[in-house]
Amino acid sequence: MTQAAKRFPVLGATGAMKVGGGLFRLPPAVDLRNRPASLWAGTYDISHELLNLNQATDTEWRAYDTMHVTPEVVRCLESAWGTPATADLSYPMGVREWGLVAHSAERRHTHDVTLLIPQHGALAVIQKRGYPSGVWRTPSGGVAPGEGFEDGAVREAWEETGLRVEPSQYLLRARVRFTRGSEHLVWWSHVFQMRYLAGEPHPVDDREIAAARWADLEELAGPVHQALTNAGSGGFLYRAQLQDLAAPLLIGGKD
């Protein structure tokens, strides 16, 4: 068995499995409002306070109101690009990264679209400025107000990797709870497989992105995964697990 096969579990067509700090389910999509209580008990959700959504009555779906990624948008995505696997995840955050997540929530930004761009057995990865040595991850970003979801995904891919791509498959939707002491914030990650069209990896937005390149699945499962998990960051642990969960779901293999 290859190192990638050990790290990336081969999953069947149905069922559920425990993965790290969360519960992973394959399609059909599960109503995340019926999440395991053990994953959420003991902390107070401050998402609604930061988002100032005092009129909302369903705390489990409040985050969908941000940045126009509404339930209707998600239904349209599933209709166009397939029903994704779903995951409930939870990570403790340090002071600095908690501040960054809370600041995003204050700006009504509690989601990201994470992009898996396969080409010739490898995935595009990026390194942001200030990342520890050896830390790489798949590109991601937010959909801007007034921007179509797919347009935002294509734009983020271009800005972070310099690659021309188009959406191919909605692979995974993860609901993430970031915790700090007795409080938590809810975050949503929408993971898409993107079809490579043209280009070689290079950062277009070089103010934020230091480098972009191809990394094969063996490297992602080995040195890249190790660097992410050893960085001492809840955010990097989240990125490592998101890659672990999404990689086996690639449609048509690695190409």
Bridge partners of residue 101, in order along the sequence: none
Sign of torsion over alpha carbons 33, 36, 41, 45: negative
Confidence of residue 222 (pLDDT cuts 50, 70, 90): very high
Lowest mean pLDDT among 9-13, 82-86, 157-161, 240-244: 9-13
Distance from the first to the final alpha carbon of the chain: 20
pLDDT score at 68: 62
Q: Report the interhelical angle of 234-246 vs 95-106 (nearest 10°).
A: 70
The position carrying tokens 């898409």 is 192
177/183 Cα distance (integer angstroms): 10
pLDDT above 70 as % of the chain: 72
Across 189-213, average pLDDT: 97
Phi, psi of 189 (to 5 degrees): -115, 125
Confidence of residue 44 (pLDDT cuts 50, 70, 90): low
pTM score, whole prediction: 0.79
Contacts of residue 187, defined as CB under 8 A and 6 or more positions apart, other chains included, come to: 63, 101, 110, 111, 112, 175, 176, 177, 178
In order, the DSSP letters of 80-102 are: HH-PPEEEEEEEE--HHHHHHHH
pLDDT over 90 at 102, yes or no? no
pLDDT score at 236: 95
Q: Please write the tens of the pLDDT for every residue from 48-97.
A: 555 554 344 444 444 444 556 888 889 999 999 999 999 999 999 999 99
CATH fold group of domain 3-7+21-249: Nucleoside Triphosphate Pyrophosphohydrolase (3.90.79)
Q: Please write the tens of the pLDDT for every residue from 169-198.
A: 999 999 999 999 888 988 999 999 999 999
pLDDT score at 46: 64
170/83 Cα distance (integer angstroms): 7
Domain spans of the chain, in order of start? 3-7+21-249
Fill in the DSSP letter of residue 10: -
pLDDT over 60 at 238, yes or no? yes
Lowest mean pLDDT among 31-35, 119-123, 173-177: 31-35
Helix (H, G, I), strand (E, B) or coil at 219: helix
Contacts of residue 252, defined as CB under 8 A and 6 or more positions apart, other chains included, come to: none
pLDDT over 70 at 252, yes or no? no
How many CB atoms within 10 Å of residue 11? 17
- Chain centre distance of CA 200: 23
Query: What tokens were used for 88?
Result: 């409930």
User: Measuring CA to CA, which residue among 184, 183, 176, 190 is closest to residue 235?
Assistant: 176
Consecutive H or E run containing 106: helix 95-106
